[in-house]
């Protein structure tokens, strides 16, 4: 039998597995801070790479530090030509999240002699490699899914502009980055950069706790993010909105089905383990949804449907009693769609956003002198000892 000290805590609702200095959340007050800085200030004033530096190194970079960081990342954007063959080995129907995690896992094979997690120089180098190559791999997963040729990164462009060109540029045709789209995407990526011990970050830390390298740990994090209860929710929201529109059942009827838990249907993009008041990221995304769609010259009835759904849910006792509010995934999909990303790329965008957080947590855990291999307890509920047939 188990020893007396084991506490049962499904979903780690009450158990802290680590100390962390990266991100602070107060779920009751709707507060989110990266290294002490409030998310609204960061989202308005910062850039993706500046936030990445902040999360990874703990302080905002000086202009020189940021310039050098950016430069190093630009120099590491190429992916090995052989690695590109992994994309042709996978079916064109493959979900880009599976393609992404496979390619990131494979990255580790190209740097096997430089992955020792105890070597600070390698840790630094692989941090840069991951930041530089993930967007390129992500864009190749996109191109693969639509049957277009891969472009080489254009290192004259900044991080987000380069990513947009890799996704939407076509060989032999010039591509002009739309600054509205670029800033809107950068803001969304920033809002996703970290979120303390969520499922994918905890996965990265757990895998890292075994001594696994950054590529393997982050590949595992991508797989954890893929699920519809986590990052996959942004894709699921858009599919849900599309189904409501196409079925003609109406928003009210759909909400009734959610409340009755018919076929386990949920209101995707609603609810959060930590936020029980509102998700400050959702508020910021909602504020920019109208603005971005208008600036991009897109009008989408799904945005109106999402607003109607939110309004009905927020005034319904079922959702009020359970303290369910829109989370970050509720409005992001409508914006990504307006930018031209296919629905199956939405969670990939989340992964690019979350990468700096994963790297920061992997490093924090690997440098923590108190850290141990992650190894949860269980309460055994199976059969007692019994004899194998024929043995007495």
Long-range contacts of 241-244 (CB under 8 A, 24+ apart): 241/302, 241/305, 241/306, 241/309, 241/333, 241/334, 242/302, 244/305, 244/309
| Residue, CB closest to ligand CMC | 271
Nearest Cα to 274, choosing from 24, 4, 22?
Answer: 24
Burial of residue 349 (number of CB atoms within 10 Å: 0-12, 13-18, 19+) = buried
Q: What is the dihedral of CA 327, 131, 204, 13, to 10 degrees?
A: -20
Looking at 76, 195, 272, 361, which residue is catalytic?
A: 272
Is residue 77 within the footprint of ligand CMC (CB under 6 A)? no
Is residue 270 within the footprint of ligand CMC (CB under 6 A)? yes
Is residue 347 within the footprint of ligand CMC (CB under 6 A)? no
Q: Where are the alpha helices (DSSP H) in the chain?
A: 39-45, 48-57, 63-75, 85-89, 96-110, 120-146, 159-168, 179-191, 199-208, 214-226, 233-247, 251-259, 280-295, 301-314, 317-321, 329-339, 346-367
Query: Is 162 or 327 the residue whose CB approaches ligand CMC more closely?
Result: 327
Query: Is 183 or 276 the residue whose CB approaches ligand CMC more closely?
Result: 276
Query: Is 52 or 258 the residue whose CB approaches ligand CMC more closely?
Result: 258
Query: Is 243 or 322 the residue whose CB approaches ligand CMC more closely?
Result: 322
Bridge partner residues of 326 (DSSP): 270
Q: How far apart are CA 288 and CA 378, in angstroms?
A: 45
One character per residue 187-226, x = contact with ligand CMC (rule: CB under 6 A): --------x--x----------------------------
Is residue 327 within the footprint of ligand CMC (CB under 6 A)? yes
Residues 123, 251, 267, 352: which binds ligand CMC (CB under 6 A)?
267
Is residue 272 within the footprint of ligand CMC (CB under 6 A)? yes
- Is 272 a residue of the active site? yes
Question: Which residue do the tokens 């188990």 mark?
Answer: 2
- Is 329 a residue of the active site? yes
Residues 258, 285, 292, 365: which binds ligand CMC (CB under 6 A)?
258
270 is written with which tokens? 């609603």
Residues 266, 276, 283, 307: which binds ligand CMC (CB under 6 A)?
266
Query: Is 166 or 191 the residue whose CB approaches ligand CMC more closely?
Result: 191
Query: What's the closest the beta carbon of residue 291 comes to ligand CMC, in angstroms?
Result: 22
Name the residues annotated as catalytic.
272, 329
Contacting residues toward ligand CMC, per CB under 6 A: 11, 195, 198, 229-231, 233, 258, 266-273, 322, 324, 327-329
């Amino acid at each position: 039998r188990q020893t007396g000290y084991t506490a049962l805590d499904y979903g780690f609702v009450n158990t802290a597995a680590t100390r962390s200095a990266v991100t602070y959340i107060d779920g009751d007050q709707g507060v989110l801070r990266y290294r002490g800085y409030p998310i609204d200030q960061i989202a308005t004033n910062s850039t993706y790479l500046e936030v990445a530096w902040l999360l990874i190194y703990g302080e905002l970079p000086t202009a020189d530090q940021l310039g050098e960081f950016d430069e190093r990342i630009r120099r590491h954007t190429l992916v090995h030509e052989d690695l590109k063959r992994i994309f042709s080995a996978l079916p064109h129907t493959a979900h880009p999240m599976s393609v992404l995690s496979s390619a990131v896992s494979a990255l580790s094979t190209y740097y096997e002699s430089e992955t020792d997690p105890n070597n600070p120089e390698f840790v630094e180098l692989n941090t840069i490699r991951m930041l530089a190559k993930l967007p390129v791999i992500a864009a190749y997963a996109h191109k693969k899914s639509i049957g277009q040729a891969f472009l080489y990164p254009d290192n004259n462009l900044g991080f987000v502009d380069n990513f947009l060109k890799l996704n939407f540029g076509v060989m032999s045709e010039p591509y002009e980055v739309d600054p509205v789209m670029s800033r809107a995407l950068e803001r969304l990526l920033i809002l996703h950069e970290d979120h303390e011990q969520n499922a994918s970050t905890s996965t990265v830390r757990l895998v890292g706790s075994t001594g696994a390298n950054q590529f393997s740990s982050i590949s595992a994090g991508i797989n954890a993010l893929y699920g519809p209860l986590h990052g996959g929710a942004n894709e699921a929201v858009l599919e849900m909105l599309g189904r409501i529109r196409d079925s003609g059942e109406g928003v009210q009827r759909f909400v009734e089905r959610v409340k009755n838990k018919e076929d386990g249907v949920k209101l995707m993009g609603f609810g959060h383990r930590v936020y029980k008041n509102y998700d400050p990221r959702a508020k910021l995304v909602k504020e920019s949804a109208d603005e971005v769609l208008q600036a991009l010259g897109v009008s989408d009835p799904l945005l109106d449907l999402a607003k109607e759904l939110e309004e009905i849910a927020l005034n319904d006792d079922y959702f009020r009693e359970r303290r369910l509010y829109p989370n970050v995934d509720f409005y992001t999909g409508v914006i990504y769609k307006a930018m031209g990303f296919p629905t199956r790329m939405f969670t990939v965008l989340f992964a690019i956003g979350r990468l700096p957080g994963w790297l920061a947590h992997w490093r924090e855990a690997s440098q923590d002198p108190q850290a141990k291999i992650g190894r949860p307890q269980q309460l055994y509920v199976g059969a007692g000892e019994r004899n194998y047939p024929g043995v007495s």
